C-alpha cells in the first residue's frame, strides 16, 4: 500500500500515484487543460498513461489529498544538467482544483518536490509557466523562483518531428 505523507496543512497528505490512479490522473490532466484553454489538445488516454507512467516509468506523479479526497496532482520527470553534472526534476504539470487554491497545497506540493530533488541529489527543480497565467507567475516568484527570460523554448512535434527523424538517418 502507498504511504501517505503528512504535511503542515491540516488534513492534507501527499502520496505517489499508483496504477489504480490512471483515470484520476487523466481527469486532472483534462481539468488542467480546461483551465489553460487547451482541452482540445489533450490526446492522452488511460492506456498511454498506464504504459508511460507505470510500465516504462518515464515520469512520476504525486497526488495531494485533502481529507482523503484527491485535490491536486503534479507530474514530473528527471532531466540532466551537463553543466552541473547532476540530474534535475522537471515539473511538467502542477494542478490544484480551483476550490482548493489559496490554502497552501500548491506550495506544499512544490516543497515536497524540492525535498525529493535534494534527496535524489538533483541540482535543480524547474518548470514552464504560460505567460498569461499571472496568478501562477506571482505564486512562483513569491516562492523565490526566477523566470529564465534569456532562454527560448523550442519544440518539434507532429509532422515536423517525423520529418526531422527521417532527415539524416537511413
Strand order in the sheet with 86-96: 5-6, 12-16, 60-66, 69-81, 86-96, 125-127
Higher pLDDT, 154 or 109: 109
DSSP 100: G
Q: Label residue 120 by pLDDT band (50, 70, 90).
A: very high
Higher pLDDT, 135 or 27: 27
Higher pLDDT, 163 or 2: 163
Calculate mean pLDDT across residues 47-59.
Answer: 98
Q: Tell me what pLDDT residue 158 has.
A: 87
Q: Any idea which fold 5-165 has?
A: Aminopeptidase (3.40.630)
Q: Tell me what pLDDT residue 1 has.
A: 59
Question: What is the full DSSP assignment across 7-73?
Answer: -SSTTEEEEE--GGGHHHHHHHHHHHHHHTT-GGG----HHHHIIIIIIS--SEEEEEEETTEEEEE
The string of pLDDT tens digits covering residues 62-77 is 999 999 999 999 999 9
Residues assigned a catalytic role: 140
Q: Tell me what pLDDT residue 102 has.
A: 94
The string of pLDDT tens digits covering residues 78-111 is 999 999 999 999 999 999 999 999 999 999 999 9
- Spans of all domains in the chain: 5-165
Cα gap 44→106, rounded to integer Å: 24
Residues facing residue 13 across a β-bridge: 6, 65
Q: Tell me what pLDDT residue 72 has.
A: 98
Amino acid at each position: 500500500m502507498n504511504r501517505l505523507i503528512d504535511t503542515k496543512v491540516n488534513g492534507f497528505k501527499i502520496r505517489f500515484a499508483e496504477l489504480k490512479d490512471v483515470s484520476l490522473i487523466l481527469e486532472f490532466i483534462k481539468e488542467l487543460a480546461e483551465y489553460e484553454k487547451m482541452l482540445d489538445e489533450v490526446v492522452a488516454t488511460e492506456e498511454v498513461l498506464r504504459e508511460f507512467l507505470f510500465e516504462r516509468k518515464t515520469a512520476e506523479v504525486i497526488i495531494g489529498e485533502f481529507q482523503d479526497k484527491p485535490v491536486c496532482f503534479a507530474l514530473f520527470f528527471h532531466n540532466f544538467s551537463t553543466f552541473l553534472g547532476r540530474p534535475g526534476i522537471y515539473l511538467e504539470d502542477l494542478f490544484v482544483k480551483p476550490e482548493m487554491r489559496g490554502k497552501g497545497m500548491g506550495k506544499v506540493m512544490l516543497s515536497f518536490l524540492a525535498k525529493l530533488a535534494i534527496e535524489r541529489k538533483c541540482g535543480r527543480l524547474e518548470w514552464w509557466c504560460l505567460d498569461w497565467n499571472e496568478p501562477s507567475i506571482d505564486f512562483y516568484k513569491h516562492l523565490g523562483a526566477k523566470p529564465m527570460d534569456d532562454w527560448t523554448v523550442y519544440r518539434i512535434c507532429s509532422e515536423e518531428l517525423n520529418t526531422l527523424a527521417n532527415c539524416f538517418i537511413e
